Structure 1
Amino acid sequence: MEANYTAGLKFKIFNIAIKLFLGGMLFYGGIAKFQNPLPKPDSLIEQVKSGQEIAADTDMLMIKNYIFGMQQTNYFWQFLGFTELFAGTLILSQIFSIAGAFIALPLTINIFLFHLFLEPGEDGELYLTLALLFANIWVVFMAYEKWKSILVDQSAIQFKAN
């Protein structure tokens, strides 16, 4: 009996640790989006005109162009930061972690794919973002019993004879 209690307690602690990791990383990523002022819309063009090196290689240029494009929309970079902060806060609260995990799922997929396709040589970051994605999937999967009724309306598949 005590072995089951200990195993259950360890499992709960593991789940809390996963949520703290996921929520903390998202919260940190959201804060980082607001750390530096956004560049001016023509700053990249001015760098090219003045002959400054923008990136050391093509891979770095693709990364800079991708991030610069999000920043230049004047809303998306901030929206991304706010969404990361919001999802991270919900997950860290432990009470609303399921909602936060669902909000964060498209974000963590995109973060992983960004590192997979735009930074394939950065193994450490790739493994970290993969762990972030797996943590997000874990939180969603572990809450399956709580949200599965949303997917299937049982009353819609019940047939009653008149």
Structure 2
Amino acid sequence: MGKFISIFFIIAQLSLGSLFVYAGVRKFIPNPARKSSSTELVPGSTKKQMVKFIGGLKANSYFWPFLGIVEIVAGLLLISQFFAVGGAIILLPVTLNIFLFHIFLKPEDVSGGILSALYLVVNILITTKKYKLLKSIIYTNKPFQL
């Protein structure tokens, strides 16, 4: 059983890492602008909110490339296997945001929601696998001294 769990975590780390390396690289490849019909963007619709959200992330000149770099670095850390917990910790807010994006701005995309929930669960599992190590880093009994 222990060998199965080890193989599962290796496959999970490689899969999540390669997925985010790919997603990060895609952020640097320009997409041709698509024309959207006026019937698609009904005022108050989640589609309009989604377009505004992504447009806001891309509107400033730094955040979209920064997100791409974070995804690439964290993905490479996951793929390395040696720094996988660090990569999982870095990706935790990213996967949480992807999940919440699908829940609130794209609720009609059930398969995307399930997939983003899977990313989040795998990321949490990778992070909590090394709970004792993280606990010893984050929490100490000793008071802070200068």
Count of matched residue pairs? 140
Residue type of the partner of 2:25?
I
Residue type of the partner of 1:12?
S
* Aligned counterpart in structure 1 of residue 63 of structure 2, from 61, 76, 86: 76
Q: Percent identity?
A: 35
* Aligned counterpart in structure 1 of residue 114 of structure 2, from 114, 127, 143: 127
Cα distance in 2 between the residues matched to 1:98 and 1:53: 44
Unaligned runs of 5+ in 1: 1-6, 40-46, 158-162
Question: How much does 1:17 deviate?
Answer: 1.1
Consecutive aligned runs of 4 or more in structure 1 exceeding 4 Å deviation: none
Moved more, 143-152 or 132-141: 143-152
Residue type of the partner of 1:19?
Q
Cα distance in 1 between the residues matched to 2:116 and 2:89: 17
Corresponding position of 1:102:
89
* CA distance 1:134–1:108, shift in 2 (3 Å): same
Corresponding position of 1:53:
37
Moved more, 28-37 or 94-103: 28-37
Corresponding position of 1:21:
15
Question: How much does 1:53 deviate?
Answer: 3.2
CA RMSD of aligned residues (A): 2.0
* CA distance 1:55–1:150, shift in 2 (3 Å): farther
Cα distance in 2 between the residues matched to 1:154 and 1:55: 60
* CA distance 1:92–1:155, shift in 2 (3 Å): same
Alignment of 1:28-43 (within 5 A): 28-36=22-30
Larger radius of gyration: 1
Residue type of the partner of 2:37?
E
Q: Deviations over 1:104-147 (max 9, x none)?
A: 00101001001110100101000000000001100010011222
Unaligned runs of 5+ in 2: none
* Aligned counterpart in structure 2 of residue 111 of structure 1, from 61, 83, 98: 98
Question: How much does 1:27 deviate?
Answer: 1.2
Q: What's the TM-score once normalised by structure 2's chain length? A: 0.87
Cα distance in 2 between the residues matched to 1:131 and 1:95: 23
Cα distance in 2 between the residues matched to 1:35 and 1:10: 38
Cα distance in 1 between the residues matched to 2:137 and 2:18: 28
Q: What's the TM-score once normalised by structure 1's chain length? A: 0.79
Cα distance in 2 between the residues matched to 1:31 and 1:69: 20
* CA distance 1:38–1:69, shift in 2 (3 Å): farther
Residue type of the partner of 2:7?
I
